[in-house]
Amino acid sequence: MSQYTVAVAGATGYAGGEALRILATHPNFAVTCVTGHSSIGDRLAIHMPHIPQLGNLVVEDTTAEVLNGHDVIILALPHGASGKLAEHLDPHAIVVDLGADHRLEQQKLWDEYYGGEFFQHWTYGMPELITGSNADGQVTRQRESIVGAKRIAGPGCNVTAVTLAFQPALAAGLVDAQAIVANLAVGYSGAGKNLKRTNLLAAQAFGSATPYGVGGSHRHIPEILQNLSHAAQASTTEPATAEPASIKQDIAMSFTPMLVPMARGILASVVAPMTERAAGLTDEAIHEIWTQAYEGQDFIQVLPQGVMPATADVIGSNAAHIQVAIDHRSHTLQAFAAIDNLNRGTAGQAVQSLNIAMNLPEMNGLTMIGVAP
Ligand SMILES: NC(=O)c1ccc[n+]([C@@H]2O[C@H](COP(=O)([O-])OP(=O)(O)OC[C@H]3O[C@@H](n4cnc5c(N)ncnc54)[C@H](OP(=O)(O)O)[C@@H]3O)[C@@H](O)[C@H]2O)c1
């Protein structure tokens, strides 16, 4: 079987570490280079003792010279660090950026939420994203764009949970897209490995839950709107445009992540008032719409009616567990998603996209089996 060499930048962090954990047993990839920042010169075994196969690799400096020469380069760096570096990477290598630098299509949204230099949008690495519909009325998906891609932008973790939970609602025109409310319970590893004294010391975080990024300020908001705008294209008869609907201000969302005491995992609850098109739908009918929306999408499990997604069920896997319900009293539609932020929310989805880009079986190296309980 062919072995492609892989270099992982930011290999000592949480996202890079999960990429290493997945790649260590992937049949088509061999990790041959790891880079970091404060840990240069260390054996990887010091930082990733749970991946003994790669323990003898030595952490190198994160430069284009070190990273070039490998078939695949995974960038798991703080946002802003990958954009500049990527400009100097071998155009023949396949590069996946797990950070935010290449996710947004529009500079004005980057300026508003991130600031600093805007880097070119790359092929978005969420294979199941609904991007519109074809002449036969079948939904089209981002997977088609990923085949053969050389530059892939890995989605945000919260973005993945909200998008997968709620895109069927937009694609079918079932909700008021100006009144979406998303609340998320998020594990600590979503914040990365660096010490944060404000809210991430064990004494403050254990046994406690607290919101962050409130007031519409969270950086994942524009990316979610971008995705839901694409999904909404499937509900119109108009041809898809390159310009996402968020620019036209017709999708709006209140978004509140909350830190909860768990190492990994995101549970998203997304709610919106139902449109006339959804009025009269039964619980069974709404569940069937979600089931159909993910038919053939192996990693997305729409759970049996009444079974609620739980983060424990997806930890360590690239699966997303989804459920949907109607609140008949408030006339709202509720959808839920549970994912592992490090696996499905970043490294697993990245490997899935790499498999697709390189024409490998999409499931290679990945599992949809969680470690529950
Ligand atoms: N954590 C998640 O759940 C998650 C989910 C989706 C996407 N992401 C994205 O993945 C990226 C990495 O996040 P993370 O959570 O893994 O962060 P992290 O745990 O803090 O790791 C950061 C990594 O980058 C290296 N690094 C730090 N500053 C650097 C610099 N100036 N130049 C080069 N390397 C530098 C660190 O090296 P040293 O340890 O050697 O200093 C470390 O390997 C971010 O862009 C994040 O948005 C994370």
What would the pLDDT profile of 288-342 be if each residue is shown by its tens digit? 999 999 999 999 999 999 999 999 999 999 999 999 999 999 999 999 999 999 9
At 165, the amino acid letter reads A
How many whole angstroms separate alpha carbon 79 and alpha carbon 125? 17
Is 245's pLDDT higher than 50?
Answer: no
What atom of ligand 1 comes closest to residue 194's alpha carbon?
20
In the reported structure, the alpha carbon of residue 192 is separated from the centroid of ligand 1 by a whole-number distance in angstroms of 6
- pTM exceeds 0.75 for this model: yes
What is the mean predicted confidence (pLDDT) over 118-129?
A: 97
The average confidence (pLDDT) of the chain is 94
C-beta of 222 in contact with ligand 1 (< 6 A): no
Whether residues 42 and 87 fall in one domain: yes
C-beta of 8 in contact with ligand 1 (< 6 A): no
DSSP state for residue 120 in the 8-state scheme: -
Measured at the CA of 156, the angle between CA 247 and CA 348, to 5 degrees, comes to 140
Whether residues 275 and 181 fall in one domain: yes
In the reported structure, the alpha carbon of residue 98 is separated from the centroid of ligand 1 by a whole-number distance in angstroms of 9
The pair of three-digit structure tokens given for residue 82, joined into one six-digit string: 């990958």
Whether residues 285 and 311 fall in one domain: yes
Confidence of residue 3 (pLDDT cuts 50, 70, 90): very high
Confidence of residue 246 (pLDDT cuts 50, 70, 90): very low
Q: Is residue 369 part of a domain?
A: no
What is the mean predicted confidence (pLDDT) over 183-208?
A: 89
Q: Which residues have a Cβ under 8 Å from the Cβ of 160 and sit 6 or more positions away?
A: 126, 320, 339, 344, 345, 349
Whether residues 21 and 118 fall in one domain: yes
Give the closest residue to 4 by CA, choosing from 30, 35, 27.
30
What is the mean predicted confidence (pLDDT) over 203-216?
A: 93
Q: Which residues have a Cβ under 8 Å from the Cβ of 135 and sit 6 or more positions away?
A: none
φ/ψ of residue 108, rounded to 5: -65, -30
Is 107's pLDDT higher than 70?
Answer: yes
C-beta of 36 in contact with ligand 1 (< 6 A): yes
Measured at the CA of 87, the angle between CA 81 and CA 91, to 5 degrees, comes to 130
Mutate to test the pocket of ligand 1, among 20, 44, 77, 160 (most ligand atoms within 8 A of CB): 77
What would the pLDDT profile of 64-95 be if each residue is shown by its tens digit? 999 999 999 999 999 889 999 999 999 999 99
What distances in angstroms separate CA 180 from CA 251, 270, 280, one per listed residue?
8, 7, 20
Whether residues 146 and 224 fall in one domain: no
In the reported structure, the alpha carbon of residue 78 is separated from the centroid of ligand 1 by a whole-number distance in angstroms of 5
> What percent of the chain stands above pLDDT 70?
96
For the chain, the residue count is: 373
| Helices and strands in the chain: count of H runs, count of E runs | 11, 16
Q: Which residues have a Cβ under 8 Å from the Cβ of 138 and sit 6 or more positions away?
A: none
Is 60's pLDDT higher than 60?
Answer: yes
Q: Is 33 an annotated catalytic residue?
A: no
Whether residues 122 and 174 fall in one domain: no
Query: What is the domain range of residue 77?
Result: 4-155+345-357
Domains contained in the chain, number: 2
Is 248's pLDDT higher than 50?
Answer: no
What atom of ligand 1 comes closest to residue 17's alpha carbon?
16
Is 104's pLDDT higher than 90?
Answer: yes
Is 285's pLDDT higher than 80?
Answer: yes
Confidence of residue 238 (pLDDT cuts 50, 70, 90): low
Which phi-psi region, left, alpha or beta, contains residue 20 (left: φ > 0; alpha: ψ -120 to 50)?
A: alpha
**Which entry of 23, 74, 94, 157 is annotated as an active-site residue?**
157
In the reported structure, the alpha carbon of residue 61 is separated from the centroid of ligand 1 by a whole-number distance in angstroms of 14
Contact predicate 157/323, CB 8 Å: no
Give the closest residue to 123 by CA, choosing from 109, 92, 102, 141.
102
Confidence of residue 247 (pLDDT cuts 50, 70, 90): very low
Could you write out the three-class secondary structure of 268-314? EEEEEEECHHHCCCCHHHHHHHHHHHCCCCCCEEECCCCCCCCHHHC
How many whole angstroms separate alpha carbon 234 and alpha carbon 132? 4
Contact predicate 104/124, CB 8 Å: no
The neighbour count for residue 206, using CB atoms within 10 Å, is 9
Q: Is residue 366 part of a domain?
A: no
Whether residues 209 and 327 fall in one domain: yes
Whether residues 78 and 215 fall in one domain: no
CATH code for the domain in which residue 34 is found: 3.40.50.720
